[in-house]
Amino acid sequence: MKKPFNIQTLIRPSIQKLVPYSSARNEYEGSEGIFLDANENPFNTGLNRYPDPVHTTLKKAISASRHVSENNLLLGNGSDEVIDLLFRTVCEPGKHTCITLPPTYGMYSVSAAINDVEVVEVPLTENFQPVTEKILQHITSETRIIFFCSPNNPSGNCLAENSIKEILNRFQGLVVIDEAYIDFSTQTSWLTYLTEYPNLVVLQTFSKAWGLAGIRLGMLFANQELIRALHKVKPPYNVNALTQRIALQALENTAQTHSWIQAVISQRDVVKSVLSTLSFVEKVYPSDANFLLVKCKRAAEVFAFLKQEKIIVRNRSQVPGCEGCLRISIGTMEENIQLLEKLKQFDEQENHPEI
């Protein structure tokens, strides 16, 4: 059973004590008036005012669309910023540690290194599933965060629910589930468990399904007390006015996003089935995301051939656990047709008796 635990004990004492910067826009929240409090340019350019530091309108819209209270939501300059904020809020540099499950998203360990937080790696199995007992064995009194990426980048699969639940129940630190690709998955989001587990942190992003990687908007959902602490640490204007505006527009046009998601999912199936017919393809891993991990004979040659044809995929063959693998994002139908044609061409060359 769950041991009772207080999220406050995870927050660094310096952050607990911290009196956050209070901007002009924090101190007067009305929208009507003559604003002479922030040294802005008074002439209207559409952007002459500082943005809302607590993202009130945007958070309302996101919380309505995700059915989660605004009090459980923090917005950042991409998921990358919210990952960094997590480290800075709960990990003492040079003391606390985190656990990652490679092969996985590279930013967890980069962000950990920047914050001088040691990373303990507990590799996924051959089929890219967590080994619960191993994870539990590697937890120490200094472990503050465990990162699960589900669907996982670069493998594409969702991580076993029972494994994550066991860790949520038995670990007295933060369990982060990065759901950057959740919209392409048949599995339901962990957001539904937010009220059940005080140590659950769910990350989502506007960079993938929403088609807005360029605006840099990441979402972090968690226990209210953690959200409050993270707000103290974040830079006052971490989500700019243009980003807030564009994201709001996207939330008003969810039909567009849903149709993109459907298109990508159906193309994923097409690409997968054609790839499976190619003789140099050893395995196409199951994917719940908008990319496929493909194990190839001579992966480096396939990669170089595609590159020379100006088709750029990600060579993951040097990554432990991904030997011989390319990661291929799902493009538009036209792009996928070109990719598959080139790969068939490569296949025919390879099978030529003189080579």
Ligand X SMILES: *Cc1c(COP(=O)(O)O)cnc(C)c1O
The residues that bridge with 178 in the sheet, in sequence order, are 149, 203
Q: Which of 47, 114, 136, 213 binds ligand X (CB under 6 A)?
A: 213
Element of type H or E holding 295: strand 291-296
- The distance of closest approach from Cβ of residue 149 to ligand X in the complex, given in angstroms and rounded to an integer, is 5
Q: Which of 50, 87, 105, 147 binds ligand X (CB under 6 A)?
A: 105
In contact, 169 and 161? CB cutoff 8 Å = no
Retrieve residue 282's tokens: 């050893």
Instruction: State which residue, 103 or 218, has the beta carbon closest to ligand X.
Output: 218
What is the C-alpha to C-alpha distance for residues 170 and 186, in angstroms, rounded to an integer?
27
Retrieve residue 223's tokens: 């226990």
Instruction: State which residue, 208 or 295, has the beta carbon closest to ligand X.
Output: 208
Instruction: State which residue, 72 or 329, has the beta carbon closest to ligand X.
Output: 329
Instruction: State which residue, 105 or 190, has the beta carbon closest to ligand X.
Output: 105
Q: How many helices (H) and strands (E) does the chain have?
A: 12, 11
In contact, 313 and 319? CB cutoff 8 Å = no
What is the C-alpha to C-alpha distance for residues 104 and 155, in angstroms, rounded to an integer?
8
In contact, 295 and 327? CB cutoff 8 Å = no
Instruction: State which residue, 220 or 343, has the beta carbon closest to ligand X.
Output: 220
Instruction: State which residue, 153 or 238, has the beta carbon closest to ligand X.
Output: 153
- Residues 63-102, mask of contacts with ligand X (x by CB under 6 A): ---------------xxx----------------------
- Residues 247-286, mask of contacts with ligand X (x by CB under 6 A): ----------------------------------------
Indicate the pairing of strand 73-76 with strand 174-178: unpaired
Instruction: State which residue, 80 or 225, has the beta carbon closest to ligand X.
Output: 80
End-to-end CA distance of the chain: 62
- The distance of closest approach from Cβ of residue 217 to ligand X in the complex, given in angstroms and rounded to an integer, is 7
157 binds ligand X (CB under 6 A): no
Chain Cα centroid distance, residue 50: 27
In contact, 228 and 20? CB cutoff 8 Å = no
Closest CA to 156 of 208, 108, 116, 199: 208
Instruction: State which residue, 147 or 303, has the beta carbon closest to ligand X.
Output: 147
Q: For residues 29-48, which are near ligand X according to CB under 6 A? A: none
207 binds ligand X (CB under 6 A): yes
Q: For residues 116-155, which are near ligand X according to CB under 6 A? A: 149, 153
Retrieve residue 61's tokens: 């819209």
Alpha-carbon distances, residue 90 vs 25, 85, 160 (angstroms): 27, 9, 26
Q: Which of 218, 244, 302, 303 binds ligand X (CB under 6 A)?
A: 218
Measured at CB, which residue is nearest to ligand X?
78
53 binds ligand X (CB under 6 A): no
3-state helix, strand, coil in the chain (%, to 5): 40, 15, 45
Is the torsion defined by CA of 338, 342, 343, 344 positive or negative?
A: positive
- Residues 165-184, mask of contacts with ligand X (x by CB under 6 A): -------------x-x----
How many chain residues bind ligand X (CB under 6 A)? 13
Choices 112-120, 200-208, 221-229, 262-270 (CB under 6 A): range interacting with ligand X: 200-208
| Interface residues toward ligand X, by CB under 6 A | 78-80, 105, 149, 153, 178, 180, 205, 207-208, 213, 218
